[in-house]
C-alpha cells in the first residue's frame, strides 16, 4: 500500500513492532511524530567515542580469537554485473574452506550474491548450506532493485519473492532513500513491511531481512538514527549500513550510531536486532575496531552471526594472513590467499 502523505490520518501497513511501540497509532502523522521526536545525535560526542574505541588494543592472546570471530561473522560477497556461476562456485569454495592449509579455520557466516546466482551458490554449498543442519553457511541475496532501489514496489516484491523461492536464506533490501530524505517515512515503512511479507516461505517461515540504509546518502547522523528506528519498526531483522556501491560506505561512527539504536531497542522491547556494516572494511585492524565497538555498546552477546555481520569481499584475505602470522610468527607470501 502506498502512502498518501497528505492524508495524515490514514493508517500505514501494520507491523507488530510498530503497533506496540507507537501505541496502535499507525498513521503517517504518528510515525513522523515518533521519528522526529527522537533526540538528535551529538555528532562531536559520537565521533569522539568512536575514535576512543578505535584506539583500544587487545592482548596478543585474544587476537587469535578475535580473528576467528571476524571470519565467522563475514558475509563473503560478490555483487558485480560480470558475476558468473563459476565465480560464485569459487566464492563458495573459499567460504567453506577459507584456509586449505589449516582445517581449524572457521567458515564464514554466509555468501552474498545477486538473486539469480542463488541456485549456483546452493548447489556449490551442498551439505555445507545452513539449511542442511541449521548451523552451516547461509545464502544471502540482494533484492529490491539493488543497489539504487529505483523501481516500483511490485518489481521490488517480485525481486524478493524470486530470491526466496530460489532458496535464499536472507534478503538484503535497500530502502528508498529519495522517499526517506523527502520525509515520506510512511512510504519507506510500507515498503519494508511489504518486502518482509515477500520473505515468507510456503511453510510460513521467513527469510531473514537485512535493511540497507545506504548511510553515505543519508548525509547526517540524525537521519541514520531515524532510518535505523524506521527499519526496525517495520520489521527488519538486521540494519545494514551500505550497499558497498556508494562512498562513504561503512564507518565506525555510523555503525556506532546504529548500534546505539539497537541497544535502545533492546532496552525498550527485549528484542535483539542485528547490525551489518558493509563496504570499505578491508583490514583485520579495522574489523577488530568494530568488534570492540560492538562489545562496548551492545555487549559481547552480539558477536555471533545471528546478530552481527561484516559485508566484505577482500577482508577475509587480510584476516587469513594475520591469522597465519599470529599462529606461526611470520607472514605468508601473497600467494597464500586467493585473488578475489
CA–CA separation, 61 vs 64, rounded Å? 7
Closest CA to 105 of 134, 64, 138: 64
Q: Would residue 276 show up in a list of annotated catalytic residues for this protein?
A: yes
The number of C-alpha atoms within 13 Å of 335 and in the hemisphere containing its C-beta is: 0
- Peptide bond between residue 248 and the one before it cis (omega within 30 degrees of 0): yes
CA–CA separation, 214 vs 243, rounded Å? 6
Buried b (16+ CB within 10 A) or exposed e, 185-224: bbbbbbbbbbbbbbbeeeeeebbbbbbbbbbbbbeebbbb
Q: Would residue 63 show up in a list of annotated catalytic residues for this protein?
A: no
Residue 267's CB: how many other CB atoms inside 10 A?
8
Q: Which one is catalytic: 172, 176, 190, 318?
A: 172
Grid cell listed for 168: 535464499
Q: Which one is catalytic: 94, 156, 210, 240?
A: 240
- Peptide bond between residue 147 and the one before it cis (omega within 30 degrees of 0): yes
Q: Would residue 325 show up in a list of annotated catalytic residues for this protein?
A: no
CA–CA separation, 201 vs 198, rounded Å? 8
Residue 1's CB: how many other CB atoms inside 10 A?
14
> What is the DSSP code string of 141-203?
EE-SSTTTT-S-HHHHHHHHHHHHHHT-SEEEEE--HHHHHTT-HHHHHHHHHHHHHHTB-TT
Q: Which one is catalytic: 94, 196, 210, 276?
A: 276
Residues taking part in catalysis:
172, 240, 276
Amino acid at each position: 500500500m502506498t502512502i498518501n502523505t497528505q492524508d495524515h490520518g490514514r493508517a500505514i501497513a501494520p507491523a507488530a513492532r510498530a503497533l506496540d511501540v507507537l501505541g496502535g497509532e499507525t498513521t503517517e502523522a504518528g510515525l513522523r511524530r515518533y521519528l522526529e521526536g527522537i533526540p538528535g545525535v551529538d555528532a562531536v560526542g559520537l565521533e569522539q567515542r568512536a575514535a576512543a574505541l578505535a584506539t583500544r588494543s587487545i592482548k596478543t592472546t585474544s587476537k587469535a580469537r578475535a580473528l576467528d570471530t571476524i571470519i565467522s561473522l563475514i558475509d563473503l560477497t560478490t555483487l558485480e554485473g560480470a558475476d558468473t556461476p563459476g565465480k560464485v562456485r569459487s566464492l563458495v569454495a573459499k567460504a567453506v574452506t577459507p584456509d586449505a592449509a589449516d582445517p581449524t579455520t572457521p567458515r564464514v557466516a554466509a555468501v552474498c550474491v545477486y538473486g539469480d546466482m542463488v541456485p549456483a551458490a546452493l548447489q556449490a554449498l551442498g551439505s555445507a548450506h545452513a539449511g542442511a543442519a541449521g548451523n552451516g553457511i547461509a545464502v544471502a541475496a540482494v533484492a529490491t532493485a539493488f543497489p539504487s532501489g529505483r523501481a516500483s514496489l511490485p518489481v521490488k516484491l517480485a525481486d524478493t519473492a524470486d530470491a526466496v523461492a530460489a532458496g535464499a536464506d536472507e534478503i538484503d533490501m535497500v530502502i528508498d532513500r529519495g522517499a526517506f530524505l523527502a520525509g515520506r517515512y510512511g512510504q519507506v515503512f510500507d515498503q519494508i513491511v511489504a518486502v518482509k511479507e515477500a520473505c515468507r516461505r510456503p511453510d510460513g517461515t521467513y527469510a531473514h531481512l537485512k535493511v540497507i540504509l545506504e548511510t553515505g546518502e543519508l548525509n547526517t547522523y540524525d537521519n541514520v538514527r531515524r532510518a535505523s528506528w524506521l527499519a526496525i519498526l517495520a520489521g527488519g531483522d538486521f540494519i545494514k549500513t551500505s550497499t558497498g556501491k556508494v562512498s562513504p560506505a561503512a564507518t565506525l561512527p555510523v555503525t556506532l550510531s546504529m548500534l546505539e539504536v539497537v541497544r535502545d531497542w533492546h532496552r525498550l522491547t527485549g528484542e535483539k536486532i542485528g547490525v551489518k556494516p558493509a563496504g570499505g572494511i578491508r583490514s583485520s585492524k579495522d574489523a577488530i575496531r568494530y568488534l570492540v565497538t560492538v562489545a562496548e555498546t551492545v555487549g559481547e552477546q552480539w558477536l555471533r552471526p545471528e546478530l552481527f555481520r561484516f559485508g566484505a569481499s577482500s577482508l577475509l584475505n587480510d584476516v587469513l594472513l594475520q591469522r597465519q602470522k599470529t599462529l606461526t610468527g611470520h607472514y605468508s607470501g601473497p600467494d597464500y590467499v586467493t585473488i578475489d
